[in-house]
Amino acid sequence: MTTIDLHRLTGAYALHALSDEENASFERHLVGCEPCAQETAELSATAARLALAVAAPASPALREQVLRRITTVRQEAPGTPDRVLPLGAGLKGRVLSRWALAACLAAAAALGGTTVWQHQQAADARAEARQAARSADEITAVLAAPDARTRATELAGGATGTVVVSLDRDRAVFVASGMARPPGGKVYQLWFDDGGTMRSAGLMDPGRSDQVVLLQGGVGRASGMGVTVEPDGGSKQPTTTPLALMTFPG
């Protein structure tokens, strides 16, 4: 590790690609390096999202090609501009931005699909990663809350839905499994039931049958939740008969 800049190992650490010795050294480094700690968290969230964003089957040689490619470039340290950083004599190649490298590594690690991110999308990718990390943290907090209460129900087509509510945190999480894709141009919308008045709680991803969704907004005085099929983009009020109405557990 004496010849390796620890600042440049955030991507490899986020993907569990370091040796035990490198991993231990980098974790000691993280304790006193806030930029690396922040970037590691962002890259971990990005890698998780990319691993789920399966667009097409990967070729059998994808992992080998990516791993061979990353031996010829070095990741930029946090806060430094992109520039060529040779690893040794005779090695050539352009340095990928840390976001493009993270995308490439995540695709290889997942071995389930490919996702292409252009360099100009890096700023948007960073913002999305931060939002994803905040959402994931909030979901974890709700599920682990001491006062969390759970209620499950069966949905159409053999699907199941489970709502987890934490009144202390004033948040709720909906866990769906086996949901059919909504009709073209439609989306599943979640609602809080405020004493018979439905309040929008966000949209589900129409392309995923299994997902965990943090309901938007606080639970407040809501006594339950519902799921409807709405036009793409959602509606201000339900326009269809609910697929499910669930009373929050007491």
The last residue of one of the domains, among 106, 138, 170, is: 138
Residue 47 included in any domain: yes
Examine the domain organization and report whether 12 and 131 are in the same domain. Answer: yes
Examine the domain organization and report whether 112 and 17 are in the same domain. Answer: yes
The most confident of the ranges 49-63, 153-167, 179-193 is 179-193
Residues 174 and 191 sit within 8 Å (Cβ to Cβ): no
Give the global pTM: 0.51
Examine the domain organization and report whether 126 and 164 are in the same domain. Answer: no
Three-state DSSP class for residue 20: helix
Residue 154 included in any domain: yes
Alpha helix locations (H) across the chain?
10-14, 20-31, 34-52, 62-70, 98-110, 122-144
Q: How far apart are CA 89 and CA 147, in angstroms?
A: 59
Examine the domain organization and report whether 150 and 203 are in the same domain. Answer: yes
Range of 238's domain? 145-247
> Region 186-214: what's the mean pLDDT?
92
The last residue of one of the domains, among 138, 166, 198, is: 138
For residue 211, pLDDT over 80 is answered with yes
Examine the domain organization and report whether 116 and 177 are in the same domain. Answer: no
Examine the domain organization and report whether 17 and 61 are in the same domain. Answer: yes
Examine the domain organization and report whether 195 and 161 are in the same domain. Answer: yes
Examine the domain organization and report whether 181 and 228 are in the same domain. Answer: yes
Which residue, among 47, 65, 63, 48, has the nearest Cα to 102 in the 3D structure? 47
Residue 108 included in any domain: yes
pLDDT at 95: 37
Residue 1 included in any domain: no
Residue 193 included in any domain: yes
Residue 64 included in any domain: yes
Residue 59 included in any domain: yes
> Region 65-92: what's the mean pLDDT?
49
Q: 145-178 pLDDT, tens per residue?
A: 899 999 988 888 888 888 999 999 999 999 888 9
Examine the domain organization and report whether 114 and 197 are in the same domain. Answer: no
Examine the domain organization and report whether 149 and 119 are in the same domain. Answer: no
Out of 3-7, 137-141, 155-159, 220-224, pick the least confident.
3-7
Q: How far apart are CA 33 and CA 39, in angstroms?
A: 10
The last residue of one of the domains, among 138, 159, 181, is: 138
Total domain count, the chain: 2
Examine the domain organization and report whether 170 and 63 are in the same domain. Answer: no
Q: How far apart are CA 242 and CA 244, in angstroms?
A: 5
Mean pLDDT for all residues in the chain: 74
Examine the domain organization and report whether 129 and 10 are in the same domain. Answer: yes
